[in-house]
Structure 1
Amino acid sequence: MQFPESWLRQYCNPSLTTQELADTLTMAGLEVEELDPVAPPFTGIVVGEIKEAVQHPDADRLRVCQVDVGGPELLNIVCGAPNARVGIRIPCATVGAELPPGADGKPFKIKIGKLRGVQSFGMLCSAKELGITDDHGGLLELPADAPLGQNVREYLNLDDTLFTLKLTPNLAHCLSVYGVARELSALTGTPLKALSFPAAAVASQDKLPVKIEATDLCGRFSGRIVRNVNTQVKTPQWMVDRLARCGQRAVSPLVDISNYVMFELGRPSHIFDLDKISGGLSVRWGKQGETLKLLNGNTIEIDDFPKVGVIADAHGLESLAGIMGGDATAVSDDTKNIYIEAAFWFPKAVAGRSRHFNFSTDAGHRFERGVDPQFTTEHIERITQLVLEICGTPETQVAAMDDQQPNMPAPKTVQLRVARAAKVIGMPVTQQQCLDALNGLGLPATVAQEGVISVTAPTFRFDINLEEDLVEEIARMIGYENLPTSKPLAPISPKLRAENSRSPYAVRHALAGLGYQETINFSFVEEKWEQELAGNSQAIKLLNPIASHLSVMRSSLLGSLLQVLKFNVDRKAQRVRVFELGRVFFKDDSVAESDTTVKGFHQPMRVAGLAYGAADQLQWGRSETKVDFYDVKGDVEALLAPLKPVFEAAEHPALHPGRCARVLLDGKAIGFVGELHPQWRQEWDLAQAPVMFELALDAVLARQVPVFAPVAKHQMVERDIAVVVKETVTHAQIMQAITAASAGAILRSAVLFDVFRPKKLKAGEEAAAGSLAQDEKSLAVRLSLGHDERALEDTEIEAAVQAVVEQLTQSLGARLR
């Protein structure tokens, strides 16, 4: 929120400097994010009036002006502004004046000069040249009653400071200048200027029929008819300036009045063109399929969800309740009769609706946080007063107030324990201190019993719901800078992790050691990824996505990693290795509601990685090779070590059909590893296929508890065997058969160390006698044999080897080579 310091001091003016004022607000929780001067520094610029303006004799676009600045003589000044004419009052920089610094950072000093042979004793200034606005279309025209010779900084109040506050959502009562002044008064003890709302003289009892159909949407609706207003007038400069210093551009008198009261009192309101309303108004929930053209030019269509509040007349929708008015009943230069509306919309009925329609408004920002329902009629009186001052005519007639209160929110009573407040704040506080702090903020506090204070939250405080809310208010009044610095007291009892598990940090550390870099991505992804890349036809759709293409929750981390890869490849990255630990989301009706789960949704953690480009960093000692399936398979094995995973051929929508494996631990599938599917490689325009893996994090976190085993007293015995098997036989089948043959025996390990395939024959060639068939391969396995207590005998060794060969022959049809 932005506002000028002078406006704030109009309601509460403590004896503090600008910086002290900003610090006081910041330390009370109203963070002052920026302090900016209204205009940059300049000197010697005064109010002047053009008495004469004649054409320059040697230049078509220049005029020679005689300017009165309140001195004994008129100043001869050459000016090229298109609006330089007799009778207007403008800022005049006299000789010796310094204009705001230019692009070089140095101030521009006015000297006597010659323009096309005519001497000029000064300069007439535009708003841009003064640094007030970017408008450089002509001279800044001042009101006709601007005193000649007065310093422009003083006249335009350019020594003012703009405060920009960064407010948290619970400080909705500070979304107005008067609301901030109320806080400042409580903080400093400076009196707060009381507001008065004089009732306008009522000339008629006309009332616009209003029917409130949805009392859960609107708790109070107030309105008034005003006839015969003049909308051709210009908004007063003082109001234009204040709106501009609040970051609001002036539009038209009636719109400006409504905006002004919103910034002044925090009350969003709307002014309808009465003659454009058909029949009466109906306040209700919108119906699916209804459309409304808004003031911003957008046409929206109402959906079933979320429910949207509307104001409608006999012909259709007129405005979005609490957010924005409609174009059909907007005021214009031809408006004669108006209807002023101020209502109370329940915050939950407005919250999120602006984002649903992809825009935001100052009104919606306030209503979804809560606007005081108590003073709707008083604020209409304030708007009426400004309408009469600015747009009033002798024929203007003010009608009676119409005020309906079908569902006013009930006041909330919250109790505060003084001892609890002292414990939370971390310093002793007395009951009287608590009472003074709360009452000073306008929170009516009484003693319920000794040590217990009861507070009935006023209508402008929607954030007072719990005892902790009152504790926060007391801490704010004490001042955060006055709270003592004390170290937390807690028992030192370290929480030890079970030996059979490791932390997610250890997994991150292990992957980083393997050369991968961690990425963090959105859990929201494109629906196409879920349907085609993850094979999930039951994706969880978001009701209110942050972007149109991020519309569903992910059930796989692979899409996010591919997006990271594409981002880096597009920037000429040659080698990419990334991983992510993140949550994925599935629909699951069996999941119950708890502190850590959401009913109907399963949210497991996964770890996924991607490798692309060269297998190793560029180096002179070895030739460059591209990363392949076995490189990443080795990384997965290293990540799971000392657990020994098993890999079996499988299929995955994102992975190559012939280069994809399912990862198993103890016979249970925990994920996949494989090369990206050619379809997706082509769609993502990748020079080579990345190799990816995705595993269940719970399985990766599990680890075996180390078990002590004595060092063997006798050396291992090694025997190599080479067997010929069919090409379709896998390494896992070989290892399974060897293990089955020697269960409980002397085999300690078996390692495949060579694979031989026959050379492919050309057309007409015949295989040599005794050679392998084209559909066969030779596997060489080294068997390590040993016994814990004694040396092995030759007969034992031969028997073990023979048992392995027989098992391979029986189960896989193998033969010794």
Structure 2
Amino acid sequence: MQFPESWLREFCNPQLTTQQLADTLTMAGLEVEELEPVAPPFTGIVVGEIKEAVQHPDADRLRVCKVDVGGAELLNIVCGAPNARVGIKVPCATVGAELPPGEDGKPFKIKVGKLRGVESYGMLCSAKELKIADDHGGLLELPLDAPLGQNIREYLNLDDTLFTLKLTPNLAHNLSVYGIAREVSALTGAPLKVLNFPAATVGTQDKLPVKIEASDLCGRFSGRIVRNVNTRAQTPQWMVDRLARCGQRSVSPLVDISNYVMFELGRPSHIFDLDKIHGGLNVRWGKVGEQLKLLNGNTITIDDFLKVGVIADDKEIESLAGIMGGDATAVSDDTKNIYIEAAFWWPKAVAGRSRHFNFSTDAGHRFERGVDPEHTVEHIERITQLVQEICGTPETICGAMDDQQPNMPAPKQVSLRVARAAKVIGMPLTQQQCHDALVGLGLPTEQGDGVLTVTAPSFRFDINIEEDLIEEVARMIGYENLPTTKPLAPISPKLRAENRRGQYDVRHLLAGQGYQETINFSFVEEKWENELAGNAHPIKLLNPIASHLSVMRSSLIGSLLQVLKFNVDRKASRVRVFELGRVFLRDETIEESDTTVKGFRQPMRVAGLAYGPANQLQWGASDAKVDFFDVKGDVEALLAPMKVVFETAEHPAMHPGRCTRVLLDGREIGFVGELHPKWRQGWDLAHAPIVFELDLDAVLVRDVPVFQSVSKQQAVERDIAVVVAENVAHAAVMNAIQAGAPKGLLRSAVLFDVFRPKAGSAGGLAEGEKSLAIRLTLGSDHAALADADIESAVQAIIQTLAGTTGARLR
């Protein structure tokens, strides 16, 4: 919220300096984000009138002007502005004047100069040269009634200050200059100007037929017809200046009046071209497929995703309720008859609609937070008054007021316990202190025995519970006056179960294995989802921060590849990164709650990527590239001591023959594999990175250690070498060994050698076979194993291997 200090002081003028006023507002919760002067410092510039303007004898683009600044003689000034002409009044910098500082920070001083042989005793100024606007149109033309010789700072009120407030959503009643003045009056005790809305003289009983079909959208609708207005009139300079200092450019008289009243009183309104309305108006919810061209030039289509309120006539919809009017009924220079509308729209019926259509408006910003429903008629009277003053003609006729109230909000009563307020605020309070604070804010308050009952006025939508009143009391006392007290509360530590570990443990484990953590956006390119995640229907964003970041990710792999590409492009040869992040999946079984969104599951995942050499560069190790088995080992270390199983699988982002899924207790928890060759080529990578992605919930589970005494019996080791087909997986061999070993005897089975004969040398193996050397560790906790027991166990394992995998002893 931006506004000029002078406008605020018209309503409430406390005996405070500008900085003191800003500090008072800030300490009351209305944070003053910025104080900025309306104009930079300059001196010696006055109102002057051009009495004569002739062509310079030696320059086509220069004129020699005679300028009257209220002195005894006319000043001879050479000027190159295209609009320098006789009769206009402009700012004139006399000799000795100082213009605003330039880029070097030093002011520019006006001296007697000579331009192409003609002496110049001053300078005629544009708005840009005074640094009060970016206008490039030449000299700043002033109204013809501007007094000659008056200091331009005084005439244009340039010794003013712009206040920029950063308001929280519950302070919607301060989204107007008068609303802030009400707060200042309560904070300082300075009198507040009482507003007066004189009723316009009614010249006709004509009313536009209005039907309110949706009372849950519109609780009140007021309007008036005004005929024979002059829309070609010029907006007064005082209104243009005030709007500009509120950050709003002047558009046309009727639009400016509507905007002015919005900033003044906080009431968004709309003015229709009456002759463009077909029949009457109908206030209702929009229908799917209806379209509307808005005043900003956008054409929106109503869909079934979100209910949207509209104002329609007998032919089509004319505006988005509480947000923006339509182009079809917009006022123009040819408008003669208008319809002024001011309504109360329920905040929930407006909230989110602007963002749904990817734009925002001042009206929507106010209505979705709450606007006073009580004064629609009075505010139309204020608009009517300004319309008559600015656009009125002798033929202007005001129609009768039409005011419909189908669903007005009921007054809310909220009680405040003084003892409770003192406990929450943390300082002793009396009932009278609380009463004075609330009454000062304009809140009707009744006193009881230690309890105050407040009937929330219509402009305070935010007062619903006792804590809201406590906040108001604290604001009026002043946050700077609150004592510093340490909070007292029982501490109940939340202990994590022993069979789970925290996310930071996972981060530390991966960092210990040489991975670096990255943090990435949750919204990604749609191409990543289609190709890397195999997600043909990703969750699309309604309002993406960038056109290419348009969907929510269902996999972390694309984000890691982007990090890899960024580093590789900067000559990084070895990259190991990981991320713990949330992914977003469609799931109709998910219900709405405080932590979930209906229809969407948002699990956490942990993913990693390794690229380049397996080890850091050093003389004692070979420069081998990281491979699948390196990353597989990292995943096993991450999940240890839990035993996981790796099975051959397929994943859209991974090499078809070098990808496995990770199983824990028979449940799939993720994938490990080499990046698919086509994606490696698409990302222009010298060699393929190895990636993994796991469900974080599964990674956080860990086995609780169980005590087991050390066996007193010596273990026995036996090595066997079996020949199996090339396509027999290591997991299948190990499963067969576990199944064939007598119960309780097999301590471990470890593959320690794989033999494949070289081309042309059979080595006792047929083509397509390999030899696996496995060390079996056997033992018993009860007795030493006899040779017969050992031989029996080994034979049982060999027989099971032969039966399940087709293995034979070598």
| Same structural fold, with TM-score higher than 0.5 when normalized by the shorter chain | yes
Answer yes or no: is 1:478 the counterpart of 2:471.
no
CA contact (8 A) 1:112 1:119 kept: yes
Other-structure match for 1:440: 440
CA contact (8 A) 2:741 2:794 kept: no
Other-structure match for 2:258: 258
CA contact (8 A) 1:416 1:470 kept: yes
1:369 and 1:506 mapped to 2: Cα distance?
43
**CA pair 603-55 structure 1, distance change in 2 beyond 3 A:** closer
CA contact (8 A) 2:742 2:796 kept: no
Q: Of residues 801, 804, 807 in structure 2, which corresponds to 1:808?
A: 801
Answer yes or no: is 1:772 the counterpart of 2:765.
yes
Other-structure match for 1:628: 627
Other-structure match for 1:500: 499
Answer yes or no: is 1:409 the counterpart of 2:402.
no
Answer yes or no: is 1:756 the counterpart of 2:755.
yes
1:588 deviates by: 4.7
CA contact (8 A) 1:129 1:136 kept: no
1:600 deviates by: 5.5
1:427 deviates by: 1.9
Matches within 5 A, 1:280-679: 280-447=280-447, 449-524=448-523, 530=529, 533-535=532-534, 553-566=552-565, 568-569=567-568, 573-588=572-587, 601-619=600-618, 621-679=620-678
| Deviations, residues 629-686 of structure 1 (Å, cap 9, x unaligned) | 2121111111111222121112223322211112122333222211233344455554
Which stretch of structure 1 is more off in the superposition, 549-558 or 602-611?
549-558
Other-structure match for 1:737: 736
1:273 deviates by: 1.3
Aligned CA RMSD, in angstroms, stands at 2.6
CA contact (8 A) 1:538 1:587 kept: no
The residue type paired with residue 65 of structure 2 is C
1:626 deviates by: 3.1
1:782 deviates by: 3.2
1:598 deviates by: 5.4
CA contact (8 A) 1:295 1:325 kept: yes
Other-structure match for 1:44: 44
SS at match of 1:129: coil
1:743 and 1:457 mapped to 2: Cα distance?
81
What residue ranges of structure 1 are gaps of 5+ in the alignment? 762-766
Other-structure match for 1:19: 19
1:596 deviates by: 5.0
1:786 deviates by: 5.7
Other-structure match for 1:702: 701
Answer yes or no: is 1:228 the counterpart of 2:228.
yes
Which stretch of structure 1 is more off in the superposition, 668-677 or 553-562?
553-562
SS at match of 2:97: strand
Answer yes or no: is 1:722 the counterpart of 2:721.
yes
**CA pair 595-63 structure 1, distance change in 2 beyond 3 A:** closer
The residue type paired with residue 468 of structure 1 is E
1:420 and 1:134 mapped to 2: Cα distance?
54
1:373 deviates by: 0.9
**CA pair 731-455 structure 1, distance change in 2 beyond 3 A:** same
2:327 and 2:535 mapped to 1: Cα distance?
43
Other-structure match for 1:247: 247
Answer yes or no: is 1:781 the counterpart of 2:774.
yes
CA contact (8 A) 1:561 1:578 kept: yes
**CA pair 492-174 structure 1, distance change in 2 beyond 3 A:** closer
1:358 deviates by: 1.4
Which stretch of structure 1 is more off in the superposition, 371-380 or 579-588?
579-588
Q: How many residues align?
A: 810
1:365 deviates by: 1.0
1:540 deviates by: 5.5
Which stretch of structure 1 is more off in the superposition, 509-518 or 519-528?
519-528
| Deviations, residues 523-561 of structure 1 (Å, cap 9, x unaligned) | 455666556543456766667766776666544333443
**CA pair 244-609 structure 1, distance change in 2 beyond 3 A:** same
Which stretch of structure 1 is more off in the superposition, 578-587 or 265-274?
578-587
| Deviations, residues 371-424 of structure 1 (Å, cap 9, x unaligned) | 111111101111111111111111211111111111111112222222222222
SS at match of 1:16: coil
2:60 and 2:807 mapped to 1: Cα distance?
105
**CA pair 525-412 structure 1, distance change in 2 beyond 3 A:** farther
SS at match of 1:6: helix
**CA pair 262-152 structure 1, distance change in 2 beyond 3 A:** same
1:348 and 1:35 mapped to 2: Cα distance?
34
**CA pair 596-208 structure 1, distance change in 2 beyond 3 A:** closer
Other-structure match for 1:189: 189
Other-structure match for 1:34: 34
Matches within 5 A, 1:59-78: 59-78=59-78
**CA pair 381-620 structure 1, distance change in 2 beyond 3 A:** farther
**CA pair 362-595 structure 1, distance change in 2 beyond 3 A:** closer
1:26 deviates by: 1.4
**CA pair 778-31 structure 1, distance change in 2 beyond 3 A:** same
Other-structure match for 1:172: 172
**CA pair 718-466 structure 1, distance change in 2 beyond 3 A:** same
The residue type paired with residue 703 of structure 2 is Q
**CA pair 405-547 structure 1, distance change in 2 beyond 3 A:** farther
The residue type paired with residue 675 of structure 1 is E
2:545 and 2:352 mapped to 1: Cα distance?
12
1:618 deviates by: 4.3
2:505 and 2:144 mapped to 1: Cα distance?
76
CA contact (8 A) 1:175 1:263 kept: yes
1:600 and 1:360 mapped to 2: Cα distance?
27
Other-structure match for 2:269: 269
CA contact (8 A) 2:742 2:793 kept: no
Which stretch of structure 1 is more off in the superposition, 490-499 or 16-25?
490-499
2:336 and 2:91 mapped to 1: Cα distance?
36
TM-score by length of 1: 0.93
1:222 and 1:92 mapped to 2: Cα distance?
48
The residue type paired with residue 633 of structure 2 is G
Which stretch of structure 1 is more off in the superposition, 158-167 or 540-549?
540-549
The share of aligned pairs that are identical, in percent, is 82
1:627 deviates by: 2.7
The residue type paired with residue 55 of structure 2 is Q
Other-structure match for 1:764: none
TM-score by length of 2: 0.94
**CA pair 421-570 structure 1, distance change in 2 beyond 3 A:** farther
| Deviations, residues 204-248 of structure 1 (Å, cap 9, x unaligned) | 111111121221111111111111111222111111100100111
**CA pair 136-635 structure 1, distance change in 2 beyond 3 A:** same
What residue ranges of structure 2 are gaps of 5+ in the alignment? none
